[in-house]
Structure 1
Amino acid sequence: MKKSREGFTLAELLIVVAIIAVLVAVAIPVFGSQLEKSREAADLANVRAAYAKVLTEANMGIYDKEVTVDLKQKQDDWQSADVITIGGISHSVKEGDTDNWIGKPGAGGTCKVSFDQKTGTKFVWSGDGTSASNSYDMSENFFKTLESSGCLNLDLIKNNTNFEIDSKASSSTFVPEIEKVLGEQSLLKNGTWAFLGNGKSNKASERYLFWTSFDTNEVGAGKKIPILIQTGDGKYYVSESQTAKRQKGNVTYVTISDHIKDQTEYKKVINAGGGQVYKSLSEAYAAYEKVLEKYKDLL
């Protein structure tokens, strides 16, 4: 008797390989999604622990406690439920930001938990899918950068009651010195910035950093733009200013703000945005991103 030793045909093997490939293609995204949800759950657990710590301090009368949680998730935005609740504070993914909940989580981002006596516990998340905040150093103090550059000790600044260092002034002797000390993730490596104020005064609050994500030379003069402000005493604001054309020698450029004559006018710029004080750069940056919607025509 003859024994049949026929195996699978090439067509049958290809069909089996194709089926396995389809199953793998379906399984990997599902596994990845579940893994990301587990990272998100771990982040929420850590944020809840930070909330408990901040609330404990607040109950003891200590209101300036801020806890930063480094997020483990590797994707922007929420992957789980539409409504997230921490400590009785609920956030709807569809409704967006509130006074207590600002921004969305991002890959490698952070959540800063603090307590405000007026609004209660505040959660500020870095990154929202369209944000570049995860690429920036949110612990940066712009005035330490200015001090490190040595510019504040130069006579032209320290003897000037109203100095201005604008990043678009390519002929400036100060801008290159500041750029030398900027970190790789410095916000000042993007957009347009200017250090302004009273170099002669001992009051740090009379010196300012204006920053915008827009290239003012591209925007042009006479346009309203959003700005993020840090004062020398460590306070942050979000407001707007009007660009202006300047000329230094043969160089023409557009500044982040028209010429400001005195401290009263600086206060007017701050108050134009409501005068709200933000405790950290990440909180101010999140608020800045929120107002960008009003300036879509400049994008």
Structure 2
Amino acid sequence: MKNKNRGFTLAELLIMVAIVGVLLAISIPIFNKNLESSRESVDLSNVRSAYSEVMAAVVSEDDEHAVKVVPLKQKIEKWQSKDPVTIAGITHSNNEGDTANWIGYPVAGGECEVSYQAGVGVILNWKGSTVKPEAPYPFNVNCDLQKPLLDSKILERPELIRHFNFEIDSRCNTGSQLVAAIMTEVKKDPDNLMNYGTWAYLGKGGTKQKEEKRYLFWTSVDTNAVGAGKEIPVIISTGDGRYYVSETTTATRRSGSNSYVAIADHLTPDGYVACTENGTKYQDLKEAYDAYTKLVTTGAYQDYKDTLPKK
């Protein structure tokens, strides 16, 4: 007796998958084109409505409403579904330059300013994106703040392995082989944040130690310049990829016959944890730096706003 419930063979399934893939490849561009066409239709309708409002204001001598700005919804510059386009009796094509009544062309995230000028008539001024560009950063926001420490190999040095707790502060830069070794690695990447301000690696030595027990404290502040006993904002990066914005209190240290101002007073492992718990956690370095910037420009540490890194 034959089995009437026989399933598909592998070859049949592969053919079906191939057919579905072809259909998707054909349908997705069509869908996107129709979606953009719909956005353009909405934009045209909104601009025409704005034109009607402007002309009504002109007739009633209402100068306050004689200019209208229409935010655009379309995602692709110029017209994709209609060319040429006619608005308020003005016909314009994509390849046509500016005229007295038509300036520019629509762009993604842009706007159209509709106004009226005596002797010229209605003016459609298509302007660039209304979305503000992301503020540039003076460093690579994806830089790895733990990399200089690891690449320097100093964690494998006996003196760090023996120490229950280590502190390597960038201001201890007179005769410190540890700081020199790390700075050699930092300077290999000119876009690393550690090229600016003051930094300190804190934690346990040895490559076998857990990464979450190693910390980098960074501040834009020159600690030697502000002196000891000052509260300063810091970004904290942990070896396992966590980021915080917190604060510390600067302190005087001695290295041989020289003294310097460290980024923080002597901290124990519990002190590191306390700094993170008293701060705010962020997803990545970019978010942490944005929060830090806000803190020194409009927050509690505006005295340090001029210390932010600059290219």
Alignment of 1:238-253 (within 5 A): 238-253=245-260
- Determine which of 293, 303, 307 is the counterpart of 1:297: 303
Paired position in structure 1 for 2:64: none
- Determine which of 203, 210, 216 is the counterpart of 2:223: 216
Post-superposition shift, 1:38?
5.1
* TM-score w.r.t. length of structure 1: 0.55
* TM-score w.r.t. length of structure 2: 0.53
Q: Distance in 2 between matches of 1:190 and 1:162?
A: 25
Alignment of 1:1-299 (within 5 A): 81=130, 105-106=134-135, 127=136, 134-170=137-173, 171-182=175-186, 183-200=189-206, 202-261=209-268, 263-273=269-279, 276-292=280-296, 293=298, 294-298=300-304, 299=306
Post-superposition shift, 1:277?
2.4
Post-superposition shift, 1:225?
0.2
CA deviations on 1:33-81 (whole Å, 9 max, x unpaired) are x79x95876xxxxxxxxxxxxxxxxxxxxxxxxxxxxxxxxxxxxx854
CA deviations on 1:100-148 (whole Å, 9 max, x unpaired) are xxxx712xxxxxxxxxxxxxxxxxxxx4xxxxxx220211112222111
Query: Structure 2 stretches of 5 or more lacking a match?
Result: 1-103, 111-127, 307-311
CA distance 1:168–1:40, shift in 2 (3 Å): farther
CA deviations on 1:1-50 (whole Å, 9 max, x unpaired) are xxxxxxxxxxxxxxxxxxxxxxxxxxxxxxxxx79x95876xxxxxxxxx
Alignment root-mean-square deviation, CA: 2.3
Count of equivalent residues: 179
Identity of aligned residues (%): 40
Paired position in structure 1 for 2:117: none
Post-superposition shift, 1:237?
0.4
What is the DSSP-based 3-state SS (H/G/I as helix, E as strand, rest coil) of the residue aligned with 2:271? helix
151-160 or 213-222, larger mean C-alpha shift: 151-160
Q: Distance in 1 between matches of 2:138 and 2:303?
A: 25
Q: Distance in 2 between matches of 1:288 and 1:38?
A: 34
Q: Distance in 1 between matches of 2:162 and 2:107?
A: 57
Q: Distance in 1 between matches of 2:254 and 2:209?
A: 30
